[in-house]
Amino acid sequence: MIIFSAIAILYFLTIGWAIRKISNFKFSEQKFNSDSELTRFSVLISFRNEANNLPKLLQSVSEIDYPLDKFELILIDDHSSDMSRTEMIDLINKFDMNIRLFHLSDVGLSTKKQAVKYGVSQASGEYVLTTDADCVLPNGILKAHHLQIIDQQPDLIAGAVSFIKKNTFLSQFQYYDFMAIQAVSMSCMIHGKPIANNAAHMSFKRSVFLKLNPYQNNMNIASGDDVFLLERFIQMERKIRYLEFPEIVLSASQESFSALVQQRKRWFLKSKYVKNRTAKRIGLILFLGQINMVFGFILLFFLNQIELIFSLFIIVKFIIDYRLLNQFSKKFHLGFCAKELLLFYIVYPFSLFIFIFALANQNYSWKSRQFKI
């Protein structure tokens, strides 16, 4: 009971702190001035077997509201097998913007981190903005990053990402789960203690990336291009900021439960190598909070004399989790439904055990490649 109570208190304090940080966070009111000197960007996207997603991505990039001569799009093909080079070129030629296509097979490279490193080396922009091929970009994204760059001169800017919510439980499960991750990450970053960022929406100074070489000691690890980049920037005490504008990148969620399990295995692989102590502490508190939920539900049926304590924990936890996600969704004008959240809230703690059991098989696949945890 003492351990249960201690975990509950730590969880409530952590989420309460995150709620306060997000609610007090104010977006910048800076206005874009096209007459000022504009930041030149290289939008960098590494992709593998994304034939279904590339048209939507390119369409969203073509609609970005920023002078065409001030940004380029760099596409790095990581050995795709679902479309030919001719098909890629035909698709690119449909869009009137500066697009440069590279194939890792031409330079003897493979995997995401090598693609990012190679893409940065080829970039001409002062800042590199990364995203993923299954994303849709807001048309004000470069203006937002530019305004923060000229105001604060950061070395890295982390922006918000959301999964696209569909009318299925699997989609809604991922939507609220990822929203919680984003909310906690945002609160830590605006506090000055970043624990995570997402390659689907971040920008960094190209010269700093080349100087720090963030992948030099982890290129053999299949995942973690964003995590290792952030950790290197933290280690070298570089200026890291959260994007102070409401632009949010929308990303596709997994279409099947098996694909979701593979994704979580990949995320676990990244977490194994995290050295950030704040990230480890926050992650442990959140994990133990979910374990408390499982025990709370179970013990409700066996310990009648103290069931009020467990009922109180479950109710209070739902209220503060609700407030956290509600605050985040309001900031970025995202859809939010209490009924959907309640179902997610009940199922999620138990789903953790499924993901944990799945780790017994240390092999996983991603983008038609096999890896080992």
- Provide φ and ψ at 168, rounded to 5°: -135, 155
* Residue-level pLDDT at 262: 86
Share of the chain above pLDDT 90, in %: 68
CA distance 185 to 180: 8
The mean of the pLDDT values for the chain is: 91
Strand, helix or coil at 161? strand
Cα–Cα dist 20/187, whole Å: 8
Smallest CA-to-CA distance from 183 within 8, 371, 364, 16 is with 16
| Host H or E run for residue 37 | none
* Neighbouring-strand partners of residue 71: 41
pLDDT band, residue 108 (cuts 50/70/90): confident
Question: Residue 330 has what pLDDT?
Answer: 96
Structure tokens at 105: 């097979």
- For residue 304, pLDDT over 70 is answered with no
DSSP 299: H
- E strand residue ranges, 154-238: 156-158, 160-163, 202-205
Q: How far apart are CA 266 and CA 260, in angstroms?
A: 10
Listed residue (92, 105, 101, 135) closest to 119, CA to CA:
101
What mean pLDDT is predicted for residues 332-361? 88
Q: What is the pTM of this model?
A: 0.92
The torsion region of residue 367 among left (phi > 0), alpha (psi -120 to 50) and beta comes to left
DSSP element (H, E) containing 43: strand 41-47
In single-letter form, the type of residue at position 182 comes to Q
Residue 336 in tokens = 């939010």
181: CB partners within 8 A, 6+ apart: 196
What DSSP assignment string belongs to 311-333? HHHHHHHHHHHHHHHHHHHHHTT
Which of 145, 167, 166, 168 lies closest to 155 in space, CA to CA? 145
Q: Which domains does the chain have, with CATH numbers?
A: 2-22+275-372 (no CATH), 37-258 (3.90.550.10)
Q: Does 98 have pLDDT greater than 90?
A: yes
Q: Which residues pair with 157 in a beta bridge?
A: 203, 241
253-265-297-15 Cα dihedral, nearest 10 degrees? -70
pLDDT, one tens digit per residue, over 194-225 is 999 999 999 999 999 999 999 988 877 777 78
pLDDT attached to residue 373: 62
Q: Name the range with the highest mean pLDDT among 30-39, 54-63, 110-119.
A: 54-63
The separation between the first and the last C-alpha atoms of the chain, rounded to the nearest angstrom, is 35
Ranking 7-21, 89-103, 120-134, 270-284 by mean pLDDT, the lowest is 270-284
